[in-house]
Structure 1
Amino acid sequence: MGVSQPTGYFELLIIGRFLSGVNAGVSLCVQPLYLGEIAPREFRGGMSMGTAIFLTGGLLIGQVIGLQELLGRAEHWPLLLSTTCIPAVLQLLTLPWFPESPRYLLMDKGDATACTKALKQLHGGDDYHKEMEDMEKERINTLGVQAKKPWELFSDRSIRWQLITAILINCAQQLNGINAIYFYASYIFRQAGIPEDKLLYATVGTGACECLTALTCGFLIDSLGRRVLIIGGYTLMAVWCICVTVTVTLQELSPWVPYLSMACVFAFVFSFGLGPGGVTNILTVELFTQTTRPAALAIGGAVNWLSFFFIGMVFPFLVNGLQQYCFLVFLVICILVVLYIFFIVPETKNKTFLEIHEEFLSRNLSKKNRSEGTNDLGANVLSIPR
């Protein structure tokens, strides 16, 4: 991307964007998977939040170095785009020193020696036995079961609710209104009287807000749990959807209303970062065992990116048709997600992957038994002579 202007080949810019997109798609699936598998059970939430924390941190850095005072001028765009090589080079230098996932080594490769070595490197010489015991139980439970391909998950009834949950929360992460709030932010800041040349600084403020809330979520997730944060986040987002709709509609009512709209924007971003922004990836990792987790993350990642593409295509028409009332659509989505998680998804904090799987399995079996019991009762009623 950096040499596309000096050479005069715009195709290099397209190729660079394509390769960056490939890396983003792969890493956003593999990184939560790796962090979730190497983390001790009691710190799994906080470590897995690293994905969201550094993702929002990277977005914030991009917003900052894109300011006019730094690399935001037209003549500096090749240098700005070239900065993506910095994290790439750092990872190429450091990742070879990282151990392979111990769960992958034990359950997929059957290499107990390499697994123990990786655990000692990650947890220390004396602190790995608890994790080894958990992995051994899961390995015994999945003996003879091959790792599944993504399309095979759709026919596996034992993980039906886990798969539905993963698809729903990844879809909702993009369709909950966060992209709409960023779209409306410039309009709201402009109505509040912020000069045109200062709007970028206000946008940087929203990025900083999301980064700070992701960091806060990382500190809270292992104490409060996943359900509290994601339900609380979506509930607050539903409230702010109403507030944004009302305040944007009444912009001309009073000089202080635009400032109230600004507060609602920051509150919406805060609520997203505190719950859905970080917890979604962690839940997707925790709902599955070793044989289904990689395939489930591939499905979740694909759904997430497709939802992002969908909202990018549909949102302009939604805004043109509904204007500020488009937030009422996102309000409905947030409420539906809250209800689904409240009634279907159990708390996963401080539980092994096997315990979470068995909890869902018992839920599936109890529903199946109730259904069969109802059918038997219906059959008995029908068989009574008249």
Structure 2
Amino acid sequence: KELLGTDTLWPYLFAFNFVPSIICLIVMPLCPESPRFLLIKKGEEEEARKALVKFRGTESVSDEIEEMRMEARKSMGIKNYTLKELLTTPELRMPVIIACVLQISQQWSGINAVMSYSTMLFELVNINSNTIPYIVVATGAINVICSIVAVPLMEKAGRRPLLLFPMVGMLISFIIMIIFLNLQKKTELSEHHVSFAYVCIIAMHTYIIGFALGLGPIPFIVVGEIFRQEPRAAAMSLSLAFNWVCNFILMLTFPFLQEALNEFVYVLFCVILALAVTFIFFFVPETKGKTFDEVANSIAFGGRAKGKGKGFNINNDENEPMSTSKV
């Protein structure tokens, strides 16, 4: 029934984590360097072209190379941003807020609480203890499969739809879980408890599917696409710090919240998801098919997601044509 999750073998389970690390050490040197880094930071256009061709699988990369040339010209003499400069530059204020809100939403949508404490949920709905390990494995498999499916989907559907619609699905799933977990406690409905348990399991997996398709992978993509080269590293570092701090807070407090609120603990996640959906709808732009300049212009100084707002001119030369290369 168990391979390594026993009192004596669990250290080997932890030690097994070195396997993916070894794989990364072997494979990472074979991966091409970032084309933008090669061209914009190191000025190695030919190497950047080779890397881009390898990533895209086509020789038709001239538009993207031209966009990088334009960005390189604008970046001449501009050093990388420090954290202080990132937080005090007015035109970066809204992108920083978007980056941090997306990472906070990812963690406080409750995914790690649901995944880490799924066994407690299954016990709460009276699932047979012998069945729980198999459901947990299925849960992880669904998460992995849907995360893989999200990769081609985000290039076809765009970032915003894959954030908004799955998040609405996650919200509905939590509402269903709250309702049926509450019904599970009613003794007068005891003959329906098995059905209620299955509904809760389905709702939980629907939530995980929604997360894996949208809020799981896309915040990392969007954060990389709403910043130009110079502030991007600092912005990614800041947003990831928010991500891990929120993860730590959630995992530390969730057992106490669950003990105090029982099934209504998921109401907190519903509120966070509702606020996040509202914020994304109004302020997070679609980055698919747009240049970095177009994305930056659309959200600077609090520009709305649909292009409203003041925007700002980030071109050094007002007569310089806009690149047609897209994100």
| TM-score (structure 1 length as normaliser) | 0.72
Counterpart contact for 1:188–1:248, Cα < 8 Å = no
Instruction: Compute the displacement of 1:91 (Å).
Output: 2.2
Counterpart contact for 2:139–2:205, Cα < 8 Å = yes
Task: Report the residue type matching 2:131 in the other structure.
Answer: K
Task: Report the residue type matching 1:200 in the other structure.
Answer: P
Unaligned runs of 5+ in 1: 1-66, 370-386
Instruction: Compute the displacement of 1:225 (Å).
Output: 0.7
Task: Say whether residues 1:308 and 2:308 are aligned partners.
Answer: no
Moved runs in structure 1, 4+ residues, more than 4 A? 120-125, 362-369
Q: Distance in 2 between matches of 1:272 and 1:234?
A: 7
Instruction: Compute the displacement of 1:112 (Å).
Output: 3.1
Out of 164, 168, 179, the position equivalent to 1:231 is: 164
Instruction: Compute the displacement of 1:368 (Å).
Output: 5.9
- Give the corresponding residue for 1:222: 155
Per-residue deviation, residues 307-362 of structure 1 (Å, max 9, x unmatched): 00011122222212211111111111101111111111111112122221122238
- Give the corresponding residue for 2:108: 175
Out of 270, 273, 277, the position equivalent to 2:209 is: 270
**Matching of residues 188-199 of structure 1 within 5 Å:** 188-190=121-123, 192-199=125-132
Unaligned runs of 5+ in 2: 312-327
Task: Say whether residues 1:299 and 2:241 are aligned partners.
Answer: no
Q: Distance in 1 between matches of 2:21 and 2:84?
A: 31
Q: Distance in 2 between matches of 1:121 and 1:275?
A: 26
Answer 1 or 2: which has greater helix percent: 1
| TM-score (structure 2 length as normaliser) | 0.84
Q: Distance in 1 between matches of 2:96 and 2:148?
A: 28
Instruction: Compute the displacement of 1:279 (Å).
Output: 1.0
SS at match of 1:147: coil
Counterpart contact for 1:173–1:277, Cα < 8 Å = yes
Q: Distance in 2 between matches of 1:238 and 1:72?
A: 33
- Give the corresponding residue for 1:159: 92
SS at match of 1:74: coil
- Give the corresponding residue for 2:318: none
Instruction: Compute the displacement of 1:125 (Å).
Output: 7.9
Given the superposition, is the C-alpha separation of residues 90 and 249 from structure 1 closer, same or farther in structure 2, using an over 3 Å criterion? same
Q: Distance in 2 between matches of 1:124 and 1:214?
A: 22
- Give the corresponding residue for 2:221: 282
Q: Distance in 2 between matches of 1:105 and 1:244?
A: 49
Task: Report the residue type matching 1:259 in the other structure.
Answer: Y
Q: Distance in 1 between matches of 2:32 and 2:117?
A: 44
Task: Report the residue type matching 2:255 in the other structure.
Answer: P
Counterpart contact for 2:301–2:310, Cα < 8 Å = no
Task: Say whether residues 1:88 and 2:21 are aligned partners.
Answer: yes
Task: Report the residue type matching 1:84 in the other structure.
Answer: N
- Give the corresponding residue for 1:372: none
- Give the corresponding residue for 1:346: 285
Counterpart contact for 2:125–2:181, Cα < 8 Å = no
Counterpart contact for 1:188–1:258, Cα < 8 Å = no
Count matched residues. 302
Task: Report the residue type matching 1:221 in the other structure.
Answer: M
SS at match of 1:197: coil
Q: Distance in 2 between matches of 1:367 and 1:317?
A: 43
- Give the corresponding residue for 1:380: none
Given the superposition, is the C-alpha separation of residues 122 and 223 from structure 1 closer, same or farther in structure 2, using an over 3 Å criterion? closer
Task: Say whether residues 1:98 and 2:31 are aligned partners.
Answer: yes
Counterpart contact for 1:150–1:295, Cα < 8 Å = yes
SS at match of 1:196: coil
Counterpart contact for 1:108–1:147, Cα < 8 Å = no
